[in-house]
A and B are shown apart, each in its own frame.
Chain A
Amino acid sequence: MSSNKEIMQTIQLRVNGDEHSIEVPPRRLLIDCLRYDLGLTGTKEGCSVGVCGACTVLMDGQLISSCLALAVFANGRDIVTIEGVARGEQLRKIQNSFMDNGGFQCGICTPGMVISAKALLDENPNPSEDEIKEWMMGNLCRCTGYYQIIKSIQEGTAELADA
């Protein structure tokens, strides 16, 4: 994805623990960098305006909408995408909880949901229903009506599950 007239910039990214050095045009969005330059298509694009939360990733431990961030802005930063939530085949308990409690249907919002939920549980292992709602406001789901997502978060933890 490059136009030969453009000035390219080299950025260093640490994504899910792996170091990458990538040449990108300054206009490149972080989501496109992750999805197309690095092939990490687990991060989804829904609304493209930072409302739906499908593109949520962690940057230096903070939740951000990768559809609103430029790739150059992530230079030298540490990014965690959905691909980096599990450790190899070993899932987090929150991922299992989404499966056990119907926390997803079509699955398009799920990567963003899981990333946001894990970040919440890292900070607050026993969130109340209101705390869950407050935290998860930035992630839209059209399928579940959210009830089973709340239950998934209440019954999950950020820890790794037994392999």
Chain B
Amino acid sequence: MVTRWKLQVRGLLWMTRLPIVCVCRVFLIPQVLAKSVRYVYIVRPMSYTVIGKPLRHLEGRAKVTGKAIFTADVALPGMIWGKALRSPLPHAQIVSVDTREAEQMSGVLAVLTAQDLPDVLTGRVVYDTPVLARDRVRFIGEKVAVVAAEDPDIAESALSLIEVEYEELPAVFDPKEAMKAHAPLLHPDYKSYLHAPEKFFSDIPNVHSHVTWEVGNLEEGFAQADRVFDHTFTTHSQHQGFIEPHASVVSVDSDGRAHLWITNKMPVRAQKLLADAVGIPQEQVVVHPVFIGGDFGGKGSLMDSPLCYHLSKRTGRPVKMVMTYTEELMAGNPRHPATISLRTGVTQDGQVVARQAKVVFGSGAYAGFKPVPFVNIPGANQAAGVYGTPHVRIDAYSVYTNCVPGGHVRAPGDLQVNFAVESSMELIAEALGDDLLEFRKRNLLKDGDLLPDGHRLEHVRVDETLEAAIESSNWGKPKTGPHVGRGISASYRHIGTGEANGQISLEPDGTVKVITPVPDTGTGAHTVFQQVVAETWPLPIQKVRVEAKPELFETDSGAGGSRVTYVVGQLFKEMTEELKESVSHVVAEALDCQVGDVVFEDGQYTAKGVERSMTLAQVAKFGLGKTELSIRKTQVNRDKPQVTTFTAQVIEVEVDPDTGQVQILDLVTAHDVGTIINPIGHQGQIDGGVIQGIGFAMIEEVAMEDGQVSTLHLGDYKLPNIKDIPPLKTVLVQEEIGPAPFHSKAIGESSITPVVGAIANAVYDAVGVRIYDLPITAEKIYWALKGQNANVE
């Protein structure tokens, strides 16, 4: 029997309009749970010295003074500028490209077309993307030629002098059309592409990856069901919205080495990808660390860097290319639009027993931006939501179309699918005459349940998290107006796995230096490493330095997938313990004592029964040349933790019935968290994710018509601004259980997912309009209230 010991601390931290409620639930007697899990849950008091402290991010000074160098800031002697000519057509054969006039222009140093480049394709996993279009273009915005000039304005002007003759081909924009028998095929040779995963090939036209996740037996599940529901939802495309557009600088030196500065959160991988893309050995690419101005999943590709390489090689000068925001919106790598069809089997007593999901993602013209081995969108596997469903089958299809290629955006696929799941839960509850909350609670995941991908969960805390969100919200209370509504939504997010690398050393000045290939994209990852090392030793935080040096490593997973604190943090914790052990040996030798007697106290090394003491600097000096006080390590962590992280939200809206305008009155986000390493960064991830989720739900859309993006600048593509943010209440359901160092968990991709479903449900509650198609705009609600479909006029 599990004894539950509750300790609730409420209203711990109240800030103006930003209350954080801490609900600490400490479960004792973990051994009962521990039987079925692979690591031990330890419940211990929060007695850390630097873990849990709101420490300044270590790169803060550089960022608030303008000294932080981002890729576009890199200035090299003799540097010139590249600009790309892009296709105005969605699908066409290139008949000819005439660059002669552009080459003659004063200030132009080189003009390249595909004919000047090796016939090589590139991509993050599957190599399907040409550096410049060779025989045909497949989307509006695809690069056809590139100019290098003394100045970006000259390069831009020269583009207008290039003449391209096209022969238009039939194009297809809707993934469902692209899957039909006689649809134009975008990549007839897909199966021959490098790293195209054979296991996920499909015979359906233009489907480049078909992934199935299955648990239980779907037929059996539907046989148990008393009622079966079918719902279909569609979602739109969202840009990551980072304020820094993609940029690359390449300088090829006299030894043929390519020096690379790039907006890429996986810089080690970028070295390998660039080498493959231009046909040189990986050792010939040296990546230089730079700050990254926002990633959100979107900055993992080479983007223009192969072009910079070729232009630099041709001209002998360093070459910089910076995309304009228009290029970003036209040819970045936005969130995949999706059609999600759910078939749900439910018993008479309101138990969900079967779920079949078909998720079709519009992949765009190339799949090269997708970073996962199965070249599909991983979030599709969440099509059962936070509900323990014994029989599930999910089919995810990623489909080529003549649109901008899709990439990863914070919680890729999760948002699309969660919106469908959370909307359908309400539709079903309503049809059954069930209570919206009770219906959910009856079906929530429990310890030992299987996710659709076959992963078994332990220590499931979705019930507590949902309960915490409900308790802190106005759910069930009287409403303040006739058009006020409330919506619930819940989600989970895995803790990511991957390969971590690092180096740690005791420096002559007595500091501990940590070298990592992973850039800090703004999450505070480097400060987290600093805290983990300082706590493990223990050392004052100032004694630990962190440097990014991706060029020292050959492989690495980089930042992404909510993995960094877990895989890199764990590695640095272990390496700190190892380095400390080596240091103890040096101290034992210096003090002429047993290693076991070495004591580290108040920043000094001494030993039992020894008068003398040594500072870390003295230890470093003594050890110099005798013992290697530097450790370098690689660790591949493929163990997906059985603990996951849950989020539950309640959002209250008011809808203006005359205009359809939605205003968010209150937003409660509850999170299932472990130890919080740095509360500043942790809360920042929650806040930023929620607002990005609101943007996706209501105002952001990479709008397209026949493959032409119509929202081509940030005046048309609306990012939430400071006046768009609603009152936000964060509830932390905390328990010191988590697989990452000091029992911490992931947070970066948690808060964004449930937002859209909660808003959609709240809109329905407010005015009875059920949203099946995103985004949730005033226009759609207005026409629905008028009894008409927004799309039919």
With a CB–CB cut-off of 8 A, which chain B residues contact A125?
A: none
CB contact between B293 and one of A5, A106, A134 (< 8 Å): that residue? A106
Taking the complex as formed, is A139 at the interface, i.e. its CB lies under 8 A from any CB of chain B?
Answer: yes
Q: Is there contact, CB below 8 Å, between A108 and B64?
A: no
Q: How far is the CA of A118 from the CA of B689 in the complex (A)?
A: 27
CB distance from B196 to the nearest CB of A (A): 33
- Nearest B residue to A148 via CB reads B684
With a CB–CB cut-off of 8 A, which chain B residues contact A141?
A: 243, 722
| Contact flags B223-248 to A (C-beta < 8 A → 1, else 0) | 00000000000000000111111000
With a CB–CB cut-off of 8 A, which chain B residues contact A108?
A: 70, 242-244, 291, 293-294
Q: Is there contact, CB below 8 Å, between A99 and B66?
A: no
Taking the complex as formed, is A151 at the interface, i.e. its CB lies under 8 A from any CB of chain B?
Answer: yes
CB distance from A80 to the nearest CB of B (A): 11
| Contact flags A127-140 to B (C-beta < 8 A → 1, else 0) | 00100111011011
Interface residues of B in 718-738 (CB under 8 A from A): 719-723, 725, 728
Q: How far is the CA of A126 from the CA of B244 in the complex (A)?
A: 31
Q: How far is the CA of A111 from the CA of B154 in the complex (A)?
A: 28
| Contact flags B692-735 to A (C-beta < 8 A → 1, else 0) | 10000000000000000000011100011111010010000000
Taking the complex as formed, is A95 at the interface, i.e. its CB lies under 8 A from any CB of chain B?
Answer: yes
With a CB–CB cut-off of 8 A, which chain A residues contact B722?
A: 132-133, 136-137, 139, 141, 146, 149-150
Interface residues of B in 134-165 (CB under 8 A from A): 150-154
Q: Tell me whether chain B's interface is mostly helix, strand or loop, or mixed.
A: loop
Taking the complex as formed, is B73 at the interface, i.e. its CB lies under 8 A from any CB of chain A?
Answer: yes
Q: Is there contact, CB below 8 Å, between A46 and B151?
A: no
Taking the complex as formed, is B17 at the interface, i.e. its CB lies under 8 A from any CB of chain A?
Answer: yes
Q: How far is the CA of A104 from the CA of B689 in the complex (A)?
A: 14
Taking the complex as formed, is A76 at the interface, i.e. its CB lies under 8 A from any CB of chain B?
Answer: no
| Contact flags B71-91 to A (C-beta < 8 A → 1, else 0) | 011010000000000000000
With a CB–CB cut-off of 8 A, which chain A residues contact B63?
A: 104, 107, 110
Q: How far is the CA of A137 from the CA of B346 in the complex (A)?
A: 48
Given contacts A98-B60, A105-B523, A143-B684, contact A47 B714 (CB under 8 A): yes
With a CB–CB cut-off of 8 A, which chain A residues contact B107?
A: 3-4
With a CB–CB cut-off of 8 A, which chain B residues contact A102?
A: 57, 680-681, 683-684
Q: Is there contact, CB below 8 Å, between B72 and A111?
A: no
CB distance from A143 to the nearest CB of B (A): 5
With a CB–CB cut-off of 8 A, which chain B residues contact A143?
A: 294, 522, 684, 688
Taking the complex as formed, is A82 at the interface, i.e. its CB lies under 8 A from any CB of chain B?
Answer: yes
Taking the complex as formed, is A20 at the interface, i.e. its CB lies under 8 A from any CB of chain B?
Answer: no
Q: Is there contact, CB below 8 Å, between A106 and B242?
A: yes
Given contacts A1-B152, A51-B715, A52-B243, contact A142 B106 (CB under 8 A): no
Given contacts A140-B719, A142-B692, A154-B16, contact A148 B683 (CB under 8 A): yes
With a CB–CB cut-off of 8 A, which chain B residues contact A142?
A: 240-243, 294, 296, 688, 692, 719
Taking the complex as formed, is B690 at the interface, i.e. its CB lies under 8 A from any CB of chain A?
Answer: yes
| Contact flags A73-89 to B (C-beta < 8 A → 1, else 0) | 00000000111011000
Q: How far is the CA of A154 from the CA of B54 in the complex (A)?
A: 18
Taking the complex as formed, is A13 at the interface, i.e. its CB lies under 8 A from any CB of chain B?
Answer: no
Q: How far is the CA of A86 from the CA of B720 in the complex (A)?
A: 29
Taking the complex as formed, is B18 at the interface, i.e. its CB lies under 8 A from any CB of chain A?
Answer: yes
CB distance from B296 to the nearest CB of A (A): 7
Taking the complex as formed, is B659 at the interface, i.e. its CB lies under 8 A from any CB of chain A?
Answer: no
Q: Is there contact, CB below 8 Å, between A107 and B714?
A: no
- Nearest B residue to A140 via CB reads B719
CB contact between B106 and one of A3, A104, A134 (< 8 Å): that residue? A3
Residue picked from B106, B150, B294, B719, most chain A C-beta under 10 Å: B294
Q: How far is the CA of A158 from the CA of B326 in the complex (A)?
A: 35
Q: How far is the CA of A153 from the CA of B245 in the complex (A)?
A: 27
| Contact flags B191-231 to A (C-beta < 8 A → 1, else 0) | 00000000000000000000000000000000000000000
Taking the complex as formed, is B95 at the interface, i.e. its CB lies under 8 A from any CB of chain A?
Answer: no
Taking the complex as formed, is A61 at the interface, i.e. its CB lies under 8 A from any CB of chain B?
Answer: no
With a CB–CB cut-off of 8 A, which chain B residues contact A44?
A: 70, 72, 243-244, 293
- Nearest B residue to A25 via CB reads B153
Taking the complex as formed, is B656 at the interface, i.e. its CB lies under 8 A from any CB of chain A?
Answer: no
CB distance from B581 to the nearest CB of A (A): 35
With a CB–CB cut-off of 8 A, which chain B residues contact A150?
A: 18, 722
Q: Is there contact, CB below 8 Å, between A36 and B75?
A: yes
Q: Is there contact, CB below 8 Å, between A145 and B687?
A: yes
Taking the complex as formed, is B431 at the interface, i.e. its CB lies under 8 A from any CB of chain A?
Answer: no
- Nearest A residue to B80 via CB reads A1
- Nearest B residue to A113 via CB reads B64
Q: How far is the CA of A143 from the CA of B67 in the complex (A)?
A: 19
Taking the complex as formed, is B487 at the interface, i.e. its CB lies under 8 A from any CB of chain A?
Answer: no
Given contacts A1-B151, A147-B728, contact A107 B715 (CB under 8 A): no
CB distance from A36 to the nearest CB of B (A): 7
Q: Is there contact, CB below 8 Å, between B522 and A129?
A: no
With a CB–CB cut-off of 8 A, which chain A residues contact B18?
A: 147, 150-151
Q: How far is the CA of A150 from the CA of B721 in the complex (A)?
A: 12
Q: Is there contact, CB below 8 Å, between B243 and A109?
A: yes
Given contacts A3-B150, A3-B154, A105-B522, contact A42 B292 (CB under 8 A): no
Q: How far is the CA of A91 from the CA of B69 in the complex (A)?
A: 19
Taking the complex as formed, is B500 at the interface, i.e. its CB lies under 8 A from any CB of chain A?
Answer: no
Given contacts A108-B70, A143-B294, contact A114 B243 (CB under 8 A): no
Q: Is there contact, CB below 8 Å, between A100 and B56?
A: yes
- Nearest A residue to B751 via CB reads A145
With a CB–CB cut-off of 8 A, which chain B residues contact A5?
A: 106
CB contact between A43 and one of B57, B66, B324 (< 8 Å): that residue? B66
Q: Is there contact, CB below 8 Å, between B688 and A144?
A: yes
Q: How far is the CA of A2 from the CA of B80 in the complex (A)?
A: 11
CB distance from B14 to the nearest CB of A (A): 13
Taking the complex as formed, is A71 at the interface, i.e. its CB lies under 8 A from any CB of chain B?
Answer: no
Q: How far is the CA of A49 from the CA of B62 in the complex (A)?
A: 26
Q: How far is the CA of A139 from the CA of B721 in the complex (A)?
A: 7
Q: Is there contact, CB below 8 Å, between A3 and B725?
A: no
Given contacts A49-B325, A137-B721, contact A106 B521 (CB under 8 A): yes
Taking the complex as formed, is B65 at the interface, i.e. its CB lies under 8 A from any CB of chain A?
Answer: yes
Given contacts A81-B66, A109-B243, contact A104 B728 (CB under 8 A): no
Q: How far is the CA of A154 from the CA of B107 in the complex (A)?
A: 50
With a CB–CB cut-off of 8 A, which chain A residues contact B69?
A: 41
Q: Is there contact, CB below 8 Å, between A106 and B60?
A: no
With a CB–CB cut-off of 8 A, which chain B residues contact A83?
A: 65-67
Q: How far is the CA of A129 from the CA of B16 in the complex (A)?
A: 9
| 18 A-B contacts (beta carbon < 8 Å) | A3-B107, A3-B151, A5-B106, A36-B75, A41-B70, A49-B713, A51-B715, A52-B243, A91-B64, A96-B64, A100-B56, A102-B57, A107-B68, A107-B291, A108-B243, A144-B688, A146-B721, A150-B722
Which 3 pairs, one residue from A and one from B, show the smallest C-beta to C-beta distance?
A42-B66, A108-B293, A106-B522
